[in-house]
Amino acid sequence: MSLSVADLELLGIRYVRIIWVDLINWTRMRVVPLAAFYKLLQRKRPGVRLTEASLGLVFLNVAEGFGSTGEYLYVLDPATIRLCPYAPGHASVMGWFQKAVPGPDTSLTVPLCPRGLLQRVVAQAQQSIRPVTFRMGFEIEVIYLNSVIPMVTPNDYSWSLTKATPAGSKISEALEETANALREMGIELEMYHGEAAPGQYELVLAHLPPLEAVDALVAARETIWQIASDSGSEASQQQLQVPACPLGTHLTGFAGGSGLHVHISVASQNPSPPVDLPSAPGFTQMEAMVLQGILDHLPAVCAISLPTEASYARMTDGIWSGGTYATWGRENRESAVRLCGEEGGYHLEIRANDGTACPYTAMAALLSAGVIGVLDRKKLVTKNCELSAHLLTEEERRALGITRRLPLTLEEARQNLVNDGRLIRELGQEFVKAHLAVNKTLQESLWDEDPAIALTRLVDHY
């Protein structure tokens, strides 16, 4: 639920945060007084000008292909106006990166715009395989910290234990305040609970159309972080900080780390016959093509959905993070794609995704993979994997159609993307080239010869 412009003054809004998410998943903003915001809205193209280096900036380093020349116009999208309950008197709005001055072809499109990329992928899917509807929802995993240096979690309790959320504790207050804030913002929270790692919690968001779902995710994560960082009257060392990065064994000793699992469903108004799939009665041909497309291109998608070296601490077998093979399994948490739900309500949980990924570009890549499956009329040749694929022999994996290994390193993932011409055509050569350059700069910027400094840098920014 978003607000109308007319609501702002009535609700006591004094400032508007103009928010964008860049290619390295850093949320950035400009804060404008309400009167200045109203003036912006009177322009033919309401927005603020930003350097074209905005999408290539990593810390204070500029990725290859970006420079000091040129400007974008970040055009406001009034449909995204939301309250910021963590900052009384503030609201937020998102937008689209457009060319400040139209090019020779009069186009305003910026291929690198993260929101624009996701919108384009969804629109092209609806045009090419219409009528089709995608929906998605996210499971946000975070690890709360009492301090970064030294890294201390508020508790050491495990999955879903009541002791992880004791009444009156700072952690319980932060979670409840977050839930209340999300409700005020019109974001539907289905549940929250303690997760498996020390200090780890999961917040589950309801499913929405892709762009709305990712907008809600971005707003929710900002809310989680802001509320946890609110010092109140407590001493600074008692404040909660919430990295969304895949900390894994680096911090907690729990190899599963933090992921950002996404559930994706696809539906069509045109009848789609069921496929012969005993483990999932009524699973449609459309759903099967999407699933096979995702499996075929997931090794390349990982370059976007798992974009840091830390991401690959979770790329291992036997820890319920999805395993290292491009597999699917009926309710199998050791498969890269878990098939959930029942006839008429199936959805795919993709587990090779974490909180360091820009959710707009990661979801654009995942949806593109699924759309390729439909456009290329792919048959579901990969069979239901009931065990962890690493426990099978090579012959047993081949019998199930498991022929692809997911990347075990960031470098391998990037090379997979470079080699996947079909996915590049869907996402656009210009975007992929920019992503690879920015990602390389991010890797170099996060690295330090002292692992403790590198980890602190990662936690501070994710």
Question: Could you tell me if 87 and 29 lie in one domain?
Answer: yes
Band of residue 147 on the pLDDT scale cut at 50, 70, 90: confident
pLDDT, residue 403, reads 94
Q: What is the CATH number of the domain that holds 336?
A: 3.30.590.10
Q: What is the pLDDT of residues 265-284, one digit of tens each?
A: 999 888 788 999 988 999 99
Band of residue 234 on the pLDDT scale cut at 50, 70, 90: very low
pLDDT, residue 460, reads 82
Question: Could you tell me if 331 and 389 lie in one domain?
Answer: yes
State how far the alpha carbon of 384 is from the alpha carbons of 326, 331, 367, 380, 450, in Å: 11, 10, 21, 10, 43
Burial 254-274 (b: 16+ CB within 10 A, else e): bbbbbbbbbbbbbbbeeebee
Q: What is the 3-state secondary structure (H, E, C) of 197-208?
A: CCCEEEEEECCE
Lookup: tokens for 66 = 């970006």
Q: Of 86, 110, 134, which residue constitutes the final position of a domain? A: 110
Question: Could you tell me if 39 and 53 lie in one domain?
Answer: yes
Q: What is the pLDDT of residues 86-117, one digit of tens each?
A: 999 999 999 999 999 887 887 899 999 999 99
285-305 vs 359-375: helix crossing angle, rounded to 10: 140
Question: Lowest mean pLDDT: which of 19-23, 238-242, 291-295, 373-377?
Answer: 238-242
The total number of structural domains in the chain stands at 2
Question: Could you tell me if 164 and 97 lie in one domain?
Answer: no
Residue 14 has pLDDT above 80, yes or no: yes
- Mean pLDDT for the stretch of residues 447-460: 85
Q: Of 69, 88, 110, which residue constitutes the final position of a domain? A: 110
Residues 6+ apart with CB under 8 A from 35: none
Residue 61 has pLDDT above 90, yes or no: yes
- Mean pLDDT for the stretch of residues 433-443: 98
Residue 247 has pLDDT above 60, yes or no: no
Question: Could you tell me if 104 and 129 lie in one domain?
Answer: no
Q: What is the CATH number of the domain that holds 105?
A: 3.10.20.70
Question: Could you tell me if 258 and 144 lie in one domain?
Answer: yes
Question: Could you tell me if 336 and 376 lie in one domain?
Answer: yes
- Mean pLDDT for the stretch of residues 358-368: 98
Q: Of 110, 143, 174, which residue constitutes the final position of a domain? A: 110
Band of residue 190 on the pLDDT scale cut at 50, 70, 90: very high
CA-to-CA distance for 42 and 20, rounded, in angstroms? 21
Question: Could you tell me if 135 and 67 lie in one domain?
Answer: no
For residue 71, what are the domain limits?
Answer: 7-110
Structure pTM?
0.94
